Amino acid sequence: GPQIHRRTLLLTAYSGPVFFHILFYYCQALVYGTTFQHTASQILAFTLITLHFAKRIFETIFVHVFYRLTVSFYSLYLYLFHYWLLSGVFMAYYIYYPGTCSSSISLLSSALETEETSLYFLSAVWIFAELSNFETHLILANLRIRYPRPIPKGYGFDLVSCPNYFFELLAWTVITLITRSLASLLFLIAAGLHMWRKAARKHEMYKKEFGSQYPKYRKVLIPYVK
């Protein structure tokens, strides 16, 4: 069927959340019919989410190496639903809603909203997760230009088959804790299930490809657990 270049697909998908988060954050009167002062949590969430997708765009252009250059055009609709609607419109609308605590289900004490120490700590964890995710992408990119392909090793790969997914889930968990929003939680669950399926397939592929040479202690996604 009709095909689309994988790089074009990803760039299209990742640009959507950046646009919608900027729109909902800055165009308050247009979206919510009023203007208001964002909370510290909303400001931090906006910064981290836009940086996350800016990093993804950068990696798609300069880092990622693709085995298959094209995918089915049908994949575009799935990516647009996941990124433009779920992590874009849905998350942005509720995260930046005026009086966010009353428009979301609180997952932690409301003290998190005003406790700067908590926000600093969560920001540090997010930075660690994003830098770690970037490092694993560099390792994968270097492996994909080598033939025959060796067993992935190094940062995170000695514990799980897909540390890139693990670190990304950690980053989105931090954003969920910062926003305490049901919208963030639902996206975290959806993204987690999607990445788990992909990690499980890749784990089985590695075991089939490398056989007895593939480390038996290596988990699929979560170190020491599964």
Q: What is the tens place of the pLDDT at every residue in 169-188?
A: 999 999 999 998 899 999 99
CB burial of residue 34 (10 Å; 0-12, 13-18, 19+): exposed
- Amino acid letter, 70: T
Picking from 1, 31, 168, the residue whose alpha carbon sits closest to that of residue 87 is 168
Report pTM. 0.92
Determine the pLDDT at residue 112. 40
pLDDT at 190 over 70: yes
Please give the Cα distance from 91 to 187 (Å, whole number). 8
Backbone angles phi, psi at 96, to 5 degrees: -100, 10
* Residue 117: band (very low, low, confident or very high) from pLDDT cuts 50, 70, 90: confident
* Residue 100: band (very low, low, confident or very high) from pLDDT cuts 50, 70, 90: low
Determine the pLDDT at residue 108. 39
pLDDT at 149 over 90: no
Percent of the chain with pLDDT over 90: 84
Determine the pLDDT at residue 86. 96
Mean of per-residue pLDDT scores for the chain:
91
Please give the Cα distance from 217 to 226 (Å, whole number). 10
Please give the Cα distance from 132 to 135 (Å, whole number). 5
Determine the pLDDT at residue 145. 82
List of residues 6+ apart from 100 with CB closer than 8 A: 39, 41, 42, 94, 179, 181
Picking from 106, 50, 86, the residue whose alpha carbon sits closest to that of residue 191 is 86
Average pLDDT value for residue range 47-68: 96
Average pLDDT value for residue range 136-150: 90
SS3 94: helix
- Where is pLDDT greater, at 116 or 62? 62
Average pLDDT value for residue range 79-105: 83
Average pLDDT value for residue range 47-73: 95
Picking from 216, 217, 166, 158, the residue whose alpha carbon sits closest to that of residue 196 is 166
DSSP 99: S
Average pLDDT value for residue range 14-23: 98
Q: Which residue has the tokens 């694993």?
A: 136
pLDDT at 122 over 60: yes
Please give the Cα distance from 59 to 96 (Å, whole number). 27
* Residue 68: band (very low, low, confident or very high) from pLDDT cuts 50, 70, 90: confident
Determine the pLDDT at residue 111. 33
